[in-house]
Amino acid sequence: MRRITINPITRLEGHGKIEIFLDEHGNVANTYFQVPELRGFEQFCVGRPAEDMPVITNRICGVCPEAHHMASVKALDQLFGVEPTPAAKKIRELFYMAFFVTDHITHFYALGGPDFILGPDAPPGARNLLGVVRKVGIEVGKQVIDCRARNHHVIQMLGGRGIHPVAGVPGGWSKVVSAAERAEIETIASQNVEFALFTLKIFDQIVLGNPAYLDLVMSDVYHHRTYSMGTVDEQNRLNFFEGRIRVVDPEGREFLKYEAADYARHIAERVEPWTYLKFPYLKKIGWKGFVDGPQSGVYTATPLSRLNAADRLATPLAQEQFERFYQTMGAKTIAGRHQPVHHRLATHWARLIELLYAAERMQELAGDPEITSPEIRNIPQGIVGTGVGSVEAPRGTLTHHYVSDDRAILTKVNLVVGTTNNHAAISMSIRKAAEKFVHGFNVVEEGLLNRVEMAFRLYDPCFSCATHALPGAMPLIVSVRNHEGKTLKSFRRDG
Amino acid sequence: MSTIIIGIGNPVLSDDSVGIKVAHLLGHALRDRPDVTTAELWAGGLRLMEALKGHEQAIIIDAIVTEGGMPGSVYTLKPSDLRQSRNTCSAHDACFPEALELGAMLGMSLPQQITIWAIEAGDVETFGEKLTREVERAVPTVVEGVMRQIELEKPLPTSGGDRT
């Protein structure tokens, strides 16, 4: 076997790499990606009071502290056996929707958009946020920054602090929403809905209106028929904030639906000798390797899988887009629901539909008179000693699991972060990219780098959910090695 | 001159937190200076650029890992030197120089003068609140360096009689 290595390093040396093993004929035999392990998070937490966790865990990632804060607070509700008040649940969700809007909008314009707005074959140096703004106009750039600013403002108003929220407490929330704040948030939510619709229109014009791009989305690049995971409410509508976790099979039939607390009964983690990464899979199906299909326990938890796992969306404009999405993608209906879409590049479109849903849901919650209720907390009366909290983070289902002693001092901590769910699928997408551009020892360098970058951008992996900057702007280093590990050639692209 | 001092890093990832720790000390030392604001940030990219809005001068303090660098070494850099910084990039949006260019393109009011104080880190892969010894030793150096920089630019005290 021969080996090709791609290092998507950070600005630091040697962080993470992709290895492509070739067979004797110089074709792709296998692909792997590796990232460094950050050590000691569980040890860092064990021995601390459980109630510190919403503030500690939101520090492990500078990109989605809000998601960790929320999963952590929900785990504490259980650990202390306390049900939050109805108003507290609504404030939490309102806060969370503001976060989703800012995260998804940023992803589209800075990461997802460039591949389409500028084209997958545009020079790498131009495929970034600046390139997008040059193409779509300064005014749109201003709107992106304004959208971020107004939603950061909401997060700060509701969450207490700007970059790392502190307002969530077991049993509720620690800050009442004033009438003036409610009115301001309602206005902001309406602006979000408008901007989400505008962004979908841009996607329409640029991607759906361009046969070449539409062909790319519909092609077999990154097409994997896996199981799809997402959180749904009692009517099987997508919900980012609470509900049960539903998994549908590659044909679209419901395979599992469970409470987050039961995650360990349904999900197991595969450990491979060549990487620190763990590969979660469906226990009932089992691990069959990096393959798709109904016989493989590989699943994904992404914007696309969330739409696949839901029967519909709970807000009217997003629901219209949802229907249009499945019609355009040519999905058939099975047992009263659409069949899943497995073209991973469609994740970018799914993310925008989620954006619209989050904006509309924010509008609904801000318009709810109960949101200004002073009844924002139930005081915990005891200690149950175990709690599992789960939310849909932008990059996939996020689960926090804590165990404590009878004084609520932590004895065990386990986190399954959004990206982890997708490790196997990301490996499979990299393999598809490699298969397209490596034949008989011939490596098409530019094509391979581009396609690997596109795969990363669509999953937007947050490796190990700990180093906020990993993997930087995705510089790639590729080494081609023979079966003895000797480097045959090496090339790189700086992000 | 309105100055913002920003420490960037992960506060619970060993030496990655050095920028935040230094900014915290500076915030305390400069608490009587209404023209100086201190802040901490966990992400670079757009977030960092947005935090600079409305200030004339920015001082950014960050951990850095360079090839063959000695932990505890201190560098002062300009934004254009930032190719090696761990924190000023965000994998999820943009790199700092790119974010600055965007801000300029959009007509945002950004500082003319940006200095980055970077401290070579020893360990940025273990969760913990403590710094490694070499990095800990560099903290006073950076605090003093930034204080000198700020003092030099301190507006002259004004009193009614001295107007010319």
Secondary structure of A199-216 in the HEC alphabet? HHHHHHHHHHCCHHHHHH
Tokens, residue A37: 């392990």
Tokens, residue B44: 């670079």
Query: Comparing C-alpha atoms, which of B9, B6, B93 is closest to residue B58?
Result: B6
Per-residue pLDDT at A75: 98
What's the pLDDT tens digit per position in A166-177? Answer: 899 999 999 999
- Residues from chain B that touch A58, judged by Cβ atoms under 8 A, are none
The CA–CA distances, whole Å, from A115 to A161, A177, B160 equal 34, 40, 60
Per-residue pLDDT at B163: 38
Cα separation, B38 vs B55, whole angstroms: 12
ipTM reported for the complex, 2 dp: 0.85
Confidence of residue B83 (pLDDT cuts 50, 70, 90): low
Distance of CA A220 to the CA centre of its chain: 22
Cα separation, B26 vs A476, whole angstroms: 37
Q: Where in chain A are the domains? A: 2-35+439-493, 84-222+343-378, 224-342
Number of domains in chain B: 1
What's the pLDDT tens digit per position in A457-480? Answer: 788 776 544 333 322 334 455 555
Please report whether residue B164 resides in a domain: no
Rounded to a whole number of angstroms, the distance from the CA of A425 to the nearest CA of chain B is 19
Please report whether residue B163 resides in a domain: no
Q: Is B124 close to A467, i.e. CB distance below 8 A?
A: yes
What's the pLDDT tens digit per position in B6-60? Answer: 998 888 889 989 999 999 999 999 999 999 999 988 877 888 999 999 999 999 9
Cα separation, A392 vs A398, whole angstroms: 6
Whether residue A67 contacts residue A75, with contact meaning beta carbons closer than 8 Å, is answered with no
Any bridge partners for residue A245, and if so which? A231, A258
Q: Is A289 left (phi over 0), alpha (psi -120 to 50) or beta?
A: left
Q: Is B89 close to A59, i.e. CB distance below 8 A?
A: no
Per-residue pLDDT at A53: 95
Query: Comparing C-alpha atoms, which of A355, A394, A360 is closest to residue A200?
Result: A355
Any bridge partners for residue B120, and if so which? B64
Secondary structure of A126-162 in the HEC alphabet? HCCHHHHHHHHCHHHHHHHHHHHHHHHHHHHHHHCCC
- Among the partner-chain residues A13, A39, A63, the one whose CB lies closest to the CB of B127 is A39
Q: Burial level of A148, CB count in 10 A (0-12/13-18/19+)? A: buried
Averaged pLDDT for residues A219-234: 93
Which range (A19-33, B113-127, B139-153) has the least confidence? Answer: A19-33
- Among the partner-chain residues A44, A110, A470, the one whose CB lies closest to the CB of B12 is A44
CATH of the domain at B75: 3.40.50.1450
Domain that holds residue B52: 3-158
The CATH homologous superfamily to which domain A84-222+343-378 belongs is Cytochrome-c3 Hydrogenase, chain B (1.10.645.10)
- Residues from chain A that touch B102, judged by Cβ atoms under 8 A, are 129-130, 133, 141, 145
Which range (A352-361, A481-490, B121-130) has the least confidence? Answer: A481-490
Q: What H or E segment, with its residue span, contains residue A117?
A: helix A113-117
Please report whether residue B124 resides in a domain: yes
